[in-house]
């Protein structure tokens, strides 16, 4: 048996099961574009010196597009008051309690909440570093039926036209539904429904979820389909809140029947002015949000 | 929609490399769908880094990123248990052919990566070492261990270090 023999055996082994189709280049292109936009936005924000917390919470950038220019103008933000008394150690508890209070109107046994406080790379932080968090989330339930609320500083997700955001997602099939509204605080509220599947195929081998576009729903086994109702509330130039309910369901109709939390409650959670975190500090390179991993560096 | 130069170049590179990269990933994670997802994640990173990665090193960069994604996935999902679970797709295997699939499942993920890079991608030891970020000696010793294991599980193959 030579090197070539083993190579041939390996190739024969792969050829027996290898899928015929090519993976879609649109997937890394779309994700790559979004990451590039985000990096540019972070750099632009930092270069502009827009680091003042209260200032950052003053003017939503992602407009509902009432007049087509993508801006709703400055609003008096009640979240500013919450930031004035912000306690990084207390906020995870506040998030869990306020999410629970709303969700338990519809969910009888919510169970314990899993709170995650993350750095600029999404890695979990120890409590001593909570004051430098880029994001915070709480989730309840299980993979079969999950509810979550998250707060994230991500300028790329806050900027731009909300109507265009929906229109683009609906056009490429990423969203099955998407609507835009503005709440009483002046926050932009986006409600969407999308389908997803776990990465890979092995059970209990979850790395995360991949979006299933509308025109490919029939290519995924029904038992691998999940649907998520997601409410996105833009609270500032960079702070975005998501309130979500995800169900394991074979069809969109079955998912609609399985959702138990009214969209109005998700909106209430997303727009809760008490749920805020200040913009994270800059990392040593001066080009990105702080991260605890010394191996991570950003380029401006 | 009009594509930028980066997108045109990336699309060309993608078309020429994605099948090879998916095969490499598959040898490590043994699941075509997961391999595809991990390759897409790795190539998203390549897209972001595109202006900084010189053309002659793009394939090496992509391969390294794919292998890292696969090994990270396996690390995050320990314990990795070799199982006799059914394959994702029905196999029409020639019963006389050696069951390489089962034998590969017995190898640790890093050794599968070495097998993929050495024997599927036909890379020299130096490039395998660079892709995995380990010493050349480690590649050699891990290759030797992988072959020992394959030999144990595939006695019909007379694999020897000298041959390889």
Burial classification of residue A144, based on how many CB atoms lie within 10 Å of its CB (0-12 exposed, 13-18 middle, 19 or more buried):
exposed
Q: Does A293 lie at the interface with B, CB-CB under 8 angstroms?
A: no
Helix segments in chain A, DSSP class H? 3-15, 26-47, 53-56, 79-84, 91-103, 155-158, 162-171, 252-258, 263-270
Check CB contact under 8 Å for B40 and A6: no
* pLDDT tens sequence across B111-155: 999 999 999 998 999 999 888 888 888 889 889 888 888 888 777
Contact A289, A283 (CB under 8 A): yes
Cβ within 8 Å of B, A 173-202:
199-202
pTM of the model: 0.58
**Rounded Cα gap, residues A195 and A263, in angstroms:** 17
pLDDT for residue A70: 38
E strand intervals along chain B: none
pLDDT for residue A64: 53
A197 secondary structure, DSSP code: E
Q: Does A223 lie at the interface with B, CB-CB under 8 angstroms?
A: no
Helix (H, G, I), strand (E, B) or coil at A194: strand
The C-alpha of A138 sits at a distance from chain B's nearest C-alpha, in angstroms, of 21
In B, minimum Cα distance to A208 occurs at B37
**Rounded Cα gap, residues A195 and A212, in angstroms:** 5
The per-residue DSSP string of A45-59 comes to: HHHTT---HHHHTT-
Residues of chain A with pLDDT under 70: 1-2, 37-79, 121, 156, 200-208, 285-287, 293-300
Point out the residue among B33, B48, B160 whose CB comes nearest to the CB of A201.
Answer: B33
CA dihedral B126, B127, B132, B138 (to 10 degrees): -20
**Rounded Cα gap, residues B141 and A144, in angstroms:** 44
pLDDT for residue B131: 86
A221 secondary structure, DSSP code: -
Cβ within 8 Å of A, B 59-78:
73, 76-77
pLDDT averaged per 10 residues, chain B (length 164): 78 93 93 89 90 87 91 65 33 51 84 92 90 86 88 68 46
ipTM over the 0.85 cut-off: no
> Cβ contacts of residue A91 below 8 Å, gap of 6+?
A130, A136, A277
Q: Which long-range contacts (CB under 8 A, 24 or more apart) does B92-98 make?
A: B92/A16, B93/A16, B97/A12, B98/A9, B98/B154, B98/B156, B98/B157
């Amino acid at each position: 048996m030579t090197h070539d023999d083993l190579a041939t055996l390996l190739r024969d082994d792969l050829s027996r099961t290898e899928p015929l189709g090519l993976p879609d280049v649109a997937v890394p292109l779309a994700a790559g574009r979004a990451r590039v936009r985000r990096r540019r936005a972070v750099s632009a924000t930092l270069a502009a010196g827009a680091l003042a917390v209260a200032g950052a919470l003053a003017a939503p950038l992602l407009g509902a597009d009432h007049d087509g220019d993508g801006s709703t103008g400055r609003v008096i933000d009640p979240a500013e008051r919450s930031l004035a008394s912000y306690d990084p150690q207390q906020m995870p508890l506040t998030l869990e309690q306020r999410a629970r209070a709303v969700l338990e109107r519809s969910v009888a046994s919510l169970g314990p909440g899993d709170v995650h406080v993350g750095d600029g790379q999404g890695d979990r932080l120890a409590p001593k570093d909570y004051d430098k968090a880029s994001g915070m989330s709480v989730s309840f339930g299980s993979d079969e039926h999950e509810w979550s609320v998250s707060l994230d500083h991500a300028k790329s997700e806050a900027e731009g036209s909300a109507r265009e955001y929906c229109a683009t997602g609906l056009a490429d099939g990423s969203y099955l539904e998407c609507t835009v509204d503005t709440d009483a605080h002046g926050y932009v509220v986006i409600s969407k429904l999308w389908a997803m599947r776990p990465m890979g195929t092995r059970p209990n081998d979850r790395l995360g979820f991949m979006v299933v576009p509308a025109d490919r729903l029939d290519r995924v086994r029904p038992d691998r389909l999940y649907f998520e109702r997601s409410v996105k509330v833009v609270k500032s130039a960079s702070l975005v809140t998501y309130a979500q309910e995800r169900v394991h369901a074979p069809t969109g109709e079955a998912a609609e029947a399985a959702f138990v939390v009214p969209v109005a409650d998700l909106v209430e959670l997303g727009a809760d002015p008490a749920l805020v975190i200040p913009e994270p500090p800059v990392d040593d390179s001066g080009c990105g949000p702080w991260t605890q991993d010394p191996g991570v560096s950003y380029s401006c | 929609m009009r594509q930028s130069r980066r997108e045109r170049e990336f699309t060309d590179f993608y078309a020429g490399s994605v099948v090879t990269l998916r095969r490499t990933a598959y040898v490590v994670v043994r699941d075509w769908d997961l391999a595809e997802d991990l390759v897409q994640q790795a190539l998203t990173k390549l897209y972001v880094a595109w202006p900084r990665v010189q053309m002659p090193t793009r394939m090496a960069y992509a391969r390294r990123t794919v292998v890292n994604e696969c090994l990270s996935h396996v690390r995050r999902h320990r314990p990795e248990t070799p199982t006799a679970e059914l394959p994702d797709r029905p196999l029409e295997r020639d019963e006389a052919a050696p069951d390489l699939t089962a034998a590969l499942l017995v190898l640790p993920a890093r050794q599968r990566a070495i097998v993929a890079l050495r024997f599927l991608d036909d890379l020299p030891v130096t490039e395998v070492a660079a892709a995995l970020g380990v010493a050349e000696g480690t590649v050699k010793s891990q290759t030797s261990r992988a072959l020992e294991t394959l030999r144990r599980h595939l006695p019909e193959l007379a694999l020897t270090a000298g041959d390889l």
